[in-house]
Structure 1
Amino acid sequence: MAPQRHSRRRTLAKHALSLSYGRAFVAPEHRHHRSSMSVNLPENDALDSKGACAVISDSTRHNVIAEQADDLSVRGFLADYYSTPAHWDIKTSVTRVLHALNSWSHSQSRHLAEGSYVSSLSILVLHGSEGHLFHMGDTLVFRLRGAEFEQLSRDHVTELGGYRYPTRALGLDGKLDIDYRHTSLKQGDLFLFTTQAVSGTLMPSDYMQLIRTDVSNLDAACERLAAAAQARAAERGYGADQFCFQLVRIDRLPEESPDPLQRFGALPVPPECAIGDRLDGLVVEAVLARTAQSRVYRVRDARNQREMVLKAPSPELSSRNAYLEHFLLQQWVVERIHSPFVVKTVERSRPRRYLYYLMAFVKGNTLTYWVQHHPRASLGQRLDIARQLVKGVQALHRREVLHQRIHPDNILIDTHGQVVLADFSACHRREGDGHRGAQELARQVGLNEHSAPEYALDIDVGRRSDQYALASTIYWLLTGELPYTLEPRQLRSHTELDQMVYRSVRMYNPEVSLELDGALQRALDPQRALRFRRLSEFVYSLRDPRKLTTDLPAHIHALRSPAKRWQWIAGGLLLLVVLSWLWK
Structure 2
Amino acid sequence: MPLIVHHSSITAAGVKDLNEDAVAVCAPSQERRLLNKGVVAALADGVSSAEAGKEASATAVDLFIADYLKTPDTWAVSHAGQKILSSLNLRLYRKSQEFVHEAKGYLCTFSALILKSRTAHIFHVGDSRIYLLRHGELTRLTRDHIVSLGGGRKMLARAVGMDNNLPIDYSKTPLEVGDILILTSDGVHDFLDDETIKHIVDHAPTAQEAVDELLQQSLQAGSNDNLSAIVLAVDDLPETTLEDYSNQLTRLPFPPELEPGMALDGLVVEEEIFASSRSQLYLVRDQDSGERWVMKTPSRNYLGDVSYIDRFIQEEWIGKRIDNPHVVRIIEQPQARTCLYYLMEHVEGVTLQQWIKDHPFPKPKTAFALIAQVADGLSALHSQDTIHQDLKPANIIVSPDNRATIIDFGSVYVAGVAEVFRPLEHIAALGTASYSDPLYLLGQNTGARGDLYALATIAYEMFTGELPYGDQINECRSRFDYDRLRYRSAMQFNPVIPLWFDRALQKGVAFDLDQRYQTMDALLQDLQNPNPAFLQDNPLEMEDRSPVMFWQMLSGFWALILMLVLILFSCQGPS
Q: d(CA) in 1 for partners of 2:348 and 2:314?
A: 25
- Corresponding position of 1:207: 193
Alignment of 1:313-352 (within 5 A): 313-352=298-337
- Corresponding position of 2:278: 293
SS at match of 1:273: coil
Alignment of 1:37-436 (within 5 A): 42=28, 51-53=40-42, 126=113, 130=123, 191-192=183-184, 207-208=193-194, 210=196, 265-375=250-360, 377-431=362-416, 436=421
- Corresponding position of 2:460: 475
Q: d(CA) in 2 for partners of 1:244 and 1:466?
A: 42
In the superposition, relative to structure 1, how do residues 517 and 148 fare at CA in structure 2: closer, same or farther (>3 Å)?
closer
- Corresponding position of 1:508: 493
Q: Which amino acid aligns with 2:41?
A: A
Match of 1:466 among 451, 456, 474: 451
Is the 1:190–1:247 contact (alpha carbons within 8 Å) kept by the matching residues of 2? yes
- Corresponding position of 1:174: none
Match of 1:494 among 479, 482, 495: 479
In the superposition, relative to structure 1, how do residues 193 and 20 fare at CA in structure 2: closer, same or farther (>3 Å)?
farther
Q: Which amino acid aligns with 1:287?
A: E
SS at match of 2:381: helix
TM-score under structure 2 length normalisation:
0.57
- Corresponding position of 2:555: none
Deviation at 1:408, TM superposition (A): 1.6
TM-score under structure 1 length normalisation:
0.56
Q: Which amino acid aligns with 1:422?
A: I
Is the 1:265–1:324 contact (alpha carbons within 8 Å) kept by the matching residues of 2? no
TM-superposition CA deviations, 1:406-426 (whole Å, max 9, x none) = 222221111111111122222
Q: Which amino acid aligns with 1:388?
A: Q
Deviation at 1:289, TM superposition (A): 1.7
TM-superposition CA deviations, 1:154-196 (whole Å, max 9, x none) = xxxxxxxxxxxxxxxxxxxxxxxxx999895565997446989
Is the 1:21–1:219 contact (alpha carbons within 8 Å) kept by the matching residues of 2? no
Structure with the greater relative contact order (CA < 8 A, sep ≥ 6): 1 or 2? Answer: 2
Deviation at 1:125, TM superposition (A): 5.6
Deviation at 1:354, TM superposition (A): 1.3
SS at match of 2:257: coil
TM-superposition CA deviations, 1:204-244 (whole Å, max 9, x none) = 5x7145458999x6869x99x979x98x98xx9x9xxxx99
- Corresponding position of 2:526: 541
Q: Which amino acid aligns with 2:467?
A: L
- Figure out how many residues of one structure are paired with residues of the other and give that number: 408
Deviation at 1:246, TM superposition (A): 6.7
Is the 1:402–1:428 contact (alpha carbons within 8 Å) kept by the matching residues of 2? yes
Q: d(CA) in 1 for partners of 2:322 and 2:142?
A: 41
Q: Which amino acid aligns with 2:303?
A: S
In the superposition, relative to structure 1, how do residues 226 and 396 fare at CA in structure 2: closer, same or farther (>3 Å)?
closer
Is the 1:449–1:487 contact (alpha carbons within 8 Å) kept by the matching residues of 2? no
Q: Which amino acid aligns with 1:522?
A: K
Is the 1:426–1:441 contact (alpha carbons within 8 Å) kept by the matching residues of 2? no
- Corresponding position of 1:484: 469
Identity level (%) = 24
Q: d(CA) in 2 for partners of 1:293 and 1:460?
A: 24
SS at match of 2:467: coil
Answer with 413-422 or 84-93: which moved more.
84-93
Is the 2:67–2:321 contact (alpha carbons within 8 Å) kept by the matching residues of 1? no
Is the 1:295–1:314 contact (alpha carbons within 8 Å) kept by the matching residues of 2? yes
Select the structure of larger CA radius of gyration.
1
Q: d(CA) in 2 for partners of 1:346 and 1:21?
A: 30
Q: Which amino acid aligns with 1:507?
A: Q
TM-superposition CA deviations, 1:25-72 (whole Å, max 9, x none) = xxxxxxxxxxxx99665577589699414699xxxxxxxxxxxxxxxx
Q: d(CA) in 1 for partners of 2:388 and 2:427?
A: 9
Q: d(CA) in 2 for partners of 1:376 and 1:428?
A: 33
SS at match of 2:521: helix
